[in-house]
Amino acid sequence: MNVFKKEMKANLKSLIIWCCAQVFIIFAGMMKYQGFADSEVDINALFDAFPKEIMVVFGIGSVDISRVAGYYSVFFLYFMLLAAVHAVMFGAVVVSKEERDHCADFVYTKPIRRFQVISPKLLAGVVNILLFNMVTFAASVFFIAQHNKGDGLIDKVSLTMLALFILQLFFLALGAMFGAILKNTKRATAVASGLVMGFFILSVVVDLYDKLAFLAILTPFKYFEGSTMMINDQLSFNSAAILLSVTLVFFGLTFVAFNRRDLST
Amino acid sequence: MNVIEINQLTKYYGKHRGIENVSFSVDRGEIFGFIGPNGAGKSTTIRALLSLIHPTSGSATIFGKDCIKYGSEIRRDIGYLPSEVFYYEHMKVREVLNYSASFYDNVDYRRIESLSEVMDLDLNKRIDDLSYGNKKKVGIVQGLLHEPRLIILDEPTGGLDPLMQQKFFDLIRAENQNGATVLFSSHILSEVQKLCGRVAIIKDGTIVRVENIRDMQKHNYKKFTLDYKGIIDVHHFNLEGITNLTVNENTLHFLFKGDINRIVERLQGQNLFNLLVEEPTLEEIFMHYYQKEDQP
């Protein structure tokens, strides 16, 4: 409990900053929607004029973005990116920070086992990403309602947030695993954030080249589509099951690797 | 009963040697010195005892229990002061100490106050505002606050001024008198000399010898200083048992171990200005252990 409390306290400031950034993105994004809606221009026709490649990179595929649900679904790509970076960094740092700060000798010479340090740290991670998720949820519903005659689309947004949370868990576990396996925090955060970028680029490549569609299974960013959740009210069960299983494996590896680790001063 | 028992403990970092076949034991209630130059393997041994690192082979027990297997249980009764003290920088001293205490059952929180008072440590300062010596003090209080039965000190006095060192030694002696066993690692011999009964000497990852400090000083070596009136004939002292022989203008220094009469014989007919026979300091004995084998 003391480790959990300490981690919550240590990460409070950064969590607030992340949440503010997220709220601002949603706020600014939905403001733009208002701009579109007011201008009475046929947005879909306008965007059709753009090359497909550009639209794909910005996450605007084939959805009808003149409707608020469709417009909002485009955000999912940005949520995923932001949440993935937040979660993966949290995981990589939280596991290895004592060694980075040279105070591993402090915690790990206390009368507790290593998993008793790692578990509350990861729990703090889960709580942090959950709070981030809930702030995203609240901000989304609030700003959608502003532009949708008071209807915040709670059901659709909830489904989207559930998918987001599964992705966050996955990235937290991925980061933690690198934190436990790699030599130091610097290397862990570098590899983890590099991997997030790699996943993202792969997801764009898959969208651009239909022939490479089979590679979609390799990037978690292609497991959930914003439009299926926001428009068709569907969450892929298979995607959720695969991601959660891999997450469990990563968490397991984190514990095993950390237990075997020679802690540096 | 042995509080610490180390048996053929070996640690390799990849191909790099940490320690090799280290064996020694520490009796209950003693203050045991562990000396060697930097990089000899003192910290590696201690970190293996605390299961911060996993030994390549060999084993160690504390309170009769395996260090790795029962690590968390054993550590309840260990107070440890690391050689390099670093703490959560943004925390206050009091917060760090309370956090430390929160890992133990039945801690008397008044001890934080009393220990800090003895060590003259300000509890309300932030860790990152502290000097190295003051951080060391935090380490000392942190290591002793739960009244451990075994105290492991890794180079504890760095950064402490002489007055604080004295207070610290008094504190350790008091803990020892109350029944705590102490493992004291250092590369400064005079402090080991002040505090310890027995000492293990480590060099290049292996234990050179375990000795009683008193035996080491009194029964083994004599330090000779000879002031000559004339020219020094160094070959005259080409004798078994003589080490660390140095010539400095008209003065000859050496350590001798063995039958003192051999030296007296050699002194016959020498044209001396002065002669001094002393107990060598531990440093001087120590240098002898440290001399590389490849030296003539």
Residue A62 contacts residue A71 (beta carbons within 8 Å): no
Q: How distant is the Cα of B139 from the closest Cα of chain A, in angstroms?
A: 9
Using the structure block, give the residue that is written with the tokens 């926001």: A230
Tell me the ipTM for this assembly: 0.80
Assign B12 a pLDDT band (cuts: 50, 70, 90): very high
Residues A83-110: tens digit of each pLDDT: 999 999 999 999 999 899 888 888 999 9
- Answer whether residue A31 is part of any domain: yes
Predicted confidence (pLDDT) at residue A58 exceeds the cutoff of 50? yes
Residue B222 contacts residue B260 (beta carbons within 8 Å): yes
Residues of B in contact with A121 (CB under 8 A): none
Assign A137 a pLDDT band (cuts: 50, 70, 90): very high
CATH topology of domain B2-216: Rossmann fold (3.40.50)
Does residue B238 or residue B52 have the better pLDDT? B52
Give yes or no for B142 touching A (CB within 8 A). yes
pLDDT for the residue B267 = 84
Nearest to B75 among A104, A106, A109 (CB): A109
Give yes or no for B81 touching A (CB within 8 A). no
Predicted confidence (pLDDT) at residue B47 exceeds the cutoff of 90? yes
User: Mean pLDDT of all residues in chain B?
Assistant: 87
| All residues at 6 or more sequence positions from B190 whose CB lies less than 8 Å from its CB, including other chains | B281, B282, B283
Using the structure block, give the residue that is written with the tokens 């509890």: B123
Predicted confidence (pLDDT) at residue A57 exceeds the cutoff of 90? no
Are A109 and B72 in contact (CB < 8 Å)? no
**Residue range(s) defining the domain that contains residue A197:** 2-260
Residues A142-189: tens digit of each pLDDT: 999 988 888 888 999 999 999 999 999 999 999 999 999 998 999 999
Mean pLDDT over residues A53-70, rounded? 72
pLDDT for the residue B261 = 87
Domain ranges of chain B: 2-216, 222-278
Predicted confidence (pLDDT) at residue A56 exceeds the cutoff of 90? no
C-alpha to C-alpha distance for B282 and B91, rounded to whole angstroms: 41
Mean pLDDT over residues A2-11, rounded? 92
pLDDT for the residue A40 = 67
Token pair belonging to A55? 């639209």
Element (H, E) at B70: none
Q: Which amino acid is at A133?
A: N
Residue A231 contacts residue A65 (beta carbons within 8 Å): no
Mean pLDDT over residues B101-125, rounded? 91
Mean pLDDT over residues B56-77, rounded? 93
Residues of B in contact with A262 (CB under 8 A): 13, 52-54
Residue B231's Cβ-count burial label (10 Å; 0-12, 13-18, 19+) is exposed
Nearest Cα residue to A91 out of A180, A14, A2, A19: A180
Predicted confidence (pLDDT) at residue A247 exceeds the cutoff of 80? yes
Residues of A in contact with B100 (CB under 8 A): 106, 110
Nearest to A111 among B54, B73, B90 (CB): B73
HSE-up (13 A, CA, CB side) for residue A96: 27
Token pair belonging to A233? 């009210």
Residues of A in contact with B38 (CB under 8 A): none
Of the given ranges (A55-59, A76-80, B239-243), which has the lowest mean pLDDT? A55-59
Predicted confidence (pLDDT) at residue B293 exceeds the cutoff of 50? no
Assign B175 a pLDDT band (cuts: 50, 70, 90): very high
pLDDT for the residue A158 = 93
Residues B176-203: tens digit of each pLDDT: 999 999 999 998 877 888 889 999 988 8
Token pair belonging to B110? 């008044």
- Answer whether residue A265 is part of any domain: no
| All residues at 6 or more sequence positions from B135 whose CB lies less than 8 Å from its CB, including other chains | B85, B86, B87, B127, B159
Residue B288's Cβ-count burial label (10 Å; 0-12, 13-18, 19+) is middle
- Answer whether residue A102 is part of any domain: yes
Q: How distant is the Cα of B86 from the closest Cα of chain A, in angstroms?
A: 5
B85 vs A100, A130, A205, B269, CA distance in Å?
Answer: 13, 35, 49, 58
Q: Provide the edge-to-edge strand list for the sheet that holds B150-154.
A: B78-81, B150-154, B181-186, B31-35, B198-203, B206-212
- Number of folded domains in chain A? 1
Cα angle: A119, vertex A125, A12; to 5 degrees: 125
DSSP alpha helix (H) spans, A209-236: 226-230
Give the chain A residue whose CA is nearest to the CA of B76. Answer: A111
Predicted confidence (pLDDT) at residue B294 exceeds the cutoff of 70? no
Mean pLDDT over residues B127-150, rounded? 92
Residues of A in contact with B104 (CB under 8 A): 110-111
Nearest Cα residue to A77 out of A192, A208, A217, A225: A225
Are A101 and B102 in contact (CB < 8 Å)? no
Residue A122 contacts residue A9 (beta carbons within 8 Å): no
Predicted confidence (pLDDT) at residue A76 exceeds the cutoff of 90? no
Residue B243's Cβ-count burial label (10 Å; 0-12, 13-18, 19+) is middle
Assign A59 a pLDDT band (cuts: 50, 70, 90): low
Residues B255-276: tens digit of each pLDDT: 888 888 888 888 888 888 899 9
